[in-house]
Chain A
Amino acid sequence: MSKSRSAYSTPSIKQKSDTYIFVVWVDNEAGVLARVVGLFSGRGYNIESLAVAEVDAVKNISRITIVTTGTPQVIDQIRLQLTKLVPVHKVGEFKRDDKEVIFKEMALFKIVGKKNKIEKCLNACKKFNPVVLDETKSSAVIQITALRREIDKMSKKLKPLGLISTSRTGAVAMTRGAKIFN
């Protein structure tokens, strides 16, 4: 049977997808991350990266930062659906190329090799605030903070120089200037 026998309509023409960053303030309680992540998987939205931690120990508030892609209609739905969740306090949403917002990710690189190779690595990382967290005669752990694409690039570049392991976080975001999200 080549024809589809679906009981539903076929999708109409797709709009263009863009990358957005959602910042979600939630009550830090059991299962809250599952609710947020489950909403994404249940409704077929995707998550490119995720960062979550408590930011206010007194009020028990966690801040979740999610990078996702979607059409304007989907992005709208994500915001509205997130807002409906009971433990969600507020939701902020930004386009990735928004100049008013800073996005950063962190990566740890483990380099194994001779001193000169490690030096080369550090040199290559210069633009991204490299910090050497651990060093032995034959290895080093380097921390950098940068944008996703930059970290992608770096990890490619460092491979031939002895990069054997990469660990990276999801993006976190903050507005520039004195303004805060509402």
Chain B
Amino acid sequence: MPKLLTGAEIVFKCLEDQKVNHIFGYPGGAVLPIYDELKNHPSIKHILVRHEQGAGHAAEGYARSSGKPGVVLVTSGPGATNVVTALTDAYMDSVPMVCISGQVPTHLIGTDAFQECDTTGITRPCTKHNWLVKDINELSDVMHEAFKVATTGRPGPVLIDIPKDIQFAKAKYNKPKKEKKLNGKSHNKFSANEIDQLISLINKAKKPIIYSGGGVINSGPKASDALRKFVELTGFPITSTLQGLGAYPGDDNQFLGMLGMHGTYEANNAMHDCDLLINIGARFDDRITGKIDEFSPNSKKVHIDIDPSSINKIIKVDLAIVGDVTKVIDKVNKTIVKKKNGNGKSNKPNIAKWWEQIQKWRNKNSLNFVNSEDSIKPQHAVQRLYELTKNKDTYVTTEVGQHQMWAAQHYKFNKPNRWMTSGGLGTMGYGLPAAVGVQVAHPEKLVIDIAGEASVLMTMQEMSTAVQYNLPIKIFILNNQYMGMVRQWQELLHEKNYSESYSEALPDFMKMADAYGCKGIKADDPSDLDEKIQEMVDYNGPVIFDCHVDPNENCFPMIPSGKPHNQMILGPNDQEENKIKGKGKALV
């Protein structure tokens, strides 16, 4: 007779066998048996957050920075509904996450019991899959499958809803099965023929560009190595989506910077004029493509993605290769090397003219801004932050808005998994809890949340978590007193009607830091910015850095309103010629 374990014990057995070291959570009535069991499992550390959304984002930060799935534990009803934003965020950005939620006892399900909600119903569209465990004998298999679903293929969040009586009930524990077939959903279906087609396109290209995305990061550090080799072998220019930053070194000469709505002039023009576009692990998001009908009109398009449903979803491609980025690019690299050792000739001379053209676009210096000696320009603040932290292995998270774009433009990442931002869902309030998660995964590293004052207030309470666990996260707030991106669009599209985008009564962040028991630093003079940033970096503990910046600064360059990639507005000087006209307004 095998030993029978309670549901709560099985949950922890599964977590141990899945090599989970940290869970982010918040207790409540329907998960108390699981919390009661926590003390018996010293290898698993629980991080108590202040709001379940914070638990979710912390798990996302943990997952993105470590490559391991983030684990969340919440109670029924409000506990589960509070985590929905984070689940949706993880779903949009393909972050592996396992959420365990308590549920009212099975005999009360459907009776509108206290703290009951239809958790699996609510989370069905924002998870890869979810389970309501009504039979204790299924619990261990469901738990193991949940980890499998979250981490294989295109990663994503899953949720397991466990009624309280199941947590008490007893059953035999099943170890994870070696290779469980997921309904035959295999992920590497590409053929040698497809690789050859790609090589042939590469050899013919005169104006090629590589456009890489978050899929490279999700595929693991080896994918970044393979990508770097691929770029080196081909000599092609490379641009990256917001989520892909860091897969290729940001300060390398072949890197054109980020593309898309706030991407660089050279990246977007190269996308528009190219004759070969190689998409590696990106999904032709609408912030990237601009006007679909005029997106990269003259190019052959290649799409490498692990998710077949990403192919031809938005942009029709000429060659689709479904597979894991590491496997596909490794194969491509090997084939290129093999052909070169034969009599294959390098096509680098073919693209010399293309590089000349790119250099011309580069000379526009599209990330330029007019600096000031009187007020701190937000771009300048990010640049200084980068200069003063680039020699450390720094991890950066952001909230959502102008500061996020400035961080993406001016902070240069050289390694994958160092950049955590909410791209798909665009969740304000992501950065602070995500920084908590990153710091938990990397206790010795410098973790900075480049924040906006409006965003950070949405999940400010997690500062308390950081203080409780001595997590020395640095909250670098670019404080312009506005919801900056909202203000920018109102300025450009709505005749400067700044409807509700100004925060009348901001808290004093210095006092707030004091109240939370962390350090507060305030900067409003460009001349002592460096010194204060250094003070923040050197301080061993959490810091709220209130950086007062020019409130009227806009984020440029920008693809305006219904325009294709080759019609960007650059900066204040360029705007007069390029006013956004009536019809285009609908398209921003």
Contact = CB atoms under 8 A, between A and B. Distances in A.
A76 interface: yes
A5 B585 contact: yes
A9 B132 contact: no
Interface stretch (A80-88, A120-128, A144-152): A80-88
A9 B309 contact: no
Given A86-B149, A86-B182, A7 B312 contact: no
Interface in B306-320: 307-309, 311-313, 316
Interface stretch (B248-256, B286-294, B518-526): B286-294
Interface stretch (A29-37, A97-105, A160-168): A29-37
Contacts of A89: 183-184
A80 B309 contact: yes
Contacts of A31: 120-121, 124, 132
A4 B588 CA distance: 11
B342 interface: no
B309 A77 contact: yes
Contact of B183 (A4, A81, A86): A86
B582 A3 contact: yes
B128 interface: yes
A9 B124 contact: no
Given A83-B185, A86-B149, A9 B312 contact: no
Contact of B292 (A9, A85, A86): A9
A8 B493 contact: no
A73 interface: yes
A92 interface: no
A116 interface: no
Interface string A86-121: 111100000000000000000000000000000000
B587 A76 contact: no
B292 A12 contact: yes
Interface residues of B, number: 35
B572 interface: no
B312 A76 contact: yes
A3 B129 CA distance: 40
A44 interface: no
B541 interface: no
A76 B308 CA distance: 10
A38 B125 contact: yes
B183 A8 contact: no
A77 B309 CA distance: 6
B494 interface: yes
Nearest to A89: B183
A90 B71 CA distance: 31
B586 interface: yes
Nearest to A29: B131
B460 to A, nearest CB: 26
Interface in A36-93: 38, 42, 73, 76-77, 80-81, 83-89
Nearest to A73: B312
Contacts of B28: none
Contacts of B129: 85-86
B124 A10 contact: no
Interface residues of A, number: 28
Nearest to B156: A84
B562 interface: yes
A39 B585 CA distance: 31
Given A12-B293, A77-B309, A6 B586 contact: yes
B128 A86 contact: yes
Nearest to A34: B124
A83 B149 CA distance: 14
A1 B443 CA distance: 53
A80 B308 CA distance: 7
Nearest to A39: B125
Contacts of B307: 84
B121 A3 contact: no
Nearest to B145: A86
Given A5-B494, A83-B308, A86-B182, A38 B586 contact: no
A9 B286 contact: yes
Interface in B417-471: none
Nearest to A43: B125
Interface in B119-158: 120-121, 124-125, 128-129, 132, 134, 149
Contact of B585 (A3, A35, A83): A3
Nearest to A7: B588
A4 B586 contact: yes
B126 to A, nearest CB: 10
Contacts of B582: 3
Given A38-B125, A81-B309, A8 B185 contact: no
8 contacts: A6-B586, A10-B586, A10-B587, A12-B292, A42-B125, A84-B185, A84-B307, A86-B182
Interface of A: 3-10, 12-13, 30-31, 34-35, 38, 42, 73, 76-77, 80-81, 83-89
Given A31-B132, A34-B121, 10 more contacts: A4-B585, A6-B586, A9-B562, A12-B293, A30-B132, A31-B120, A31-B124, A38-B124, A84-B309, A86-B183
Interface of B: 120-121, 124-125, 128-129, 132, 134, 149, 182-185, 286, 290-293, 307-309, 311-313, 316, 489, 493-494, 562, 582-583, 585-588
* Top 4 A-B pairs, shortest CB-CB distance: A80-B309, A4-B586, A86-B129, A42-B125
